[in-house]
Every structure is written in C-alpha cells, then in structure tokens.
Amino acid sequence: MSEHRWKPSVTVAALIEQDGRFLLVEEETPEGLRLNNPAGHLEPGESMLQGVVREALEETGRAFVPEALLGVYLARMHRHDDPAEDVTYLRFAYRGRVGEPIPGAVLDVGIVRTVWMTPDEVRASVARHRSPMLLLCMEDHLAGRRLPLDTVFADPKIGASALIDINSHLP
C-alpha cells in the first residue's frame, strides 16, 4: 500500500517599504499580469533567510537585507480552470530594505517589471493581486508586526552550500 504524504509548498516573501511605498513585482501568470511581493519557492539546501534574499534579488534586481520576520502564513490556492492545481502555500514573509538596482541585473523569467505603490494603491488593486497574502502581509507590516530573525531556526548545515554575499551589492 502506497502512502501519499501531503506537503505544503514552502515560499519566502520580501516586504519592502521605502518612503511610504511598497516594492512589488508585476509578473506573468496563467491568469494574466498580476502583482506580488518579491517571492518564490524555497530551494533545497537554503535557509529561509537565504531564500528570501535570493528571491528578492532575482525578482527586483536589488539586494535585500531582511530586518525582521513579518509572519508565517498558510493559504490554499485553487485555480478554477484546473482542478488538479490545488496548492497550499506556507509563506515566510520578511520585512527589510533594499539597495539601488544592481547595474546589469536581469529580472527572473516571468517578471515584467518592479513597481513602487502606496498602501492605497495596493488596496485598490486587489483584483490584480497574485495572492491574498500580498495585502495581508502589507497590512501586518503597517500594523507594526515584527519578530526577531532568529524566530526561525536553520541548522547551519542547511545553508552552508547556498551562501549569498549580499553585502557586496549594498551601498
């Protein structure tokens, strides 16, 4: 008898606010162009912090420095046109800051552009959000939620081979 074990898709997301605006990405999805936080799937061998730094760099072309864990979110996404695509995401969202765009950086496949939006603009664009977690994370950030980075423990062996030198990209 084969036993199938359910596993959520683990993702990391960067919440970046600067001068009252949030840095989002506009990306191609099966539903058309959608807005999202710089975010993506955790890769084998990397810690949550390494994953969020990598994803933010790949999707924004900027070095991201995590400053706090915003929260851990569990959400189920179901595409109505594809009953087989019923996925539960476990998102680790981090607040932080970015440097200037890195010259020559190429955005990840599917990312059309980055855009800075005010909270009111984000709220007014809900129909274009890739995930309801975008708005929830922004509202939690604005409410002052923050947890220490060491809230999520990563065994040193996890990320030993996936180190990213973000300091070389910061001012």
Q: Which domain holds residue 94?
A: 9-148
Cβ–Cβ < 8 Å for 35, 25? yes
Q: How far is CA 128 from CA 11, 99, 153, 166, in A?
A: 20, 26, 34, 31
- Cα angle, residue 41 at apex, residues 95 and 110 outer, rounded to 5°: 95
Instruction: Give pLDDT < 70 ranges for the chain.
Output: 1-2, 78-84, 159-171
Residues pairing with 86 in the sheet:
78
List pLDDT tens digits, range 19-67. 999 999 999 998 899 999 999 999 998 999 999 999 999 999 999 999 9
Q: State how beta strands 64-78 and 86-98 pair.
A: antiparallel
78 falls within a domain: yes
- Tokens 């947890």 sit on residue: 147
| Alpha carbons 149 and 76: distance in angstroms, whole number | 25
Where residue 32 sits, what CATH number does that domain have?
3.90.79.10
How many independent structural domains does the chain possess?
1
- Please indicate, yes or no, if residue 20 is contained in any of the structural domains: yes
pTM (predicted TM-score):
0.86
Any domain includes 167: no
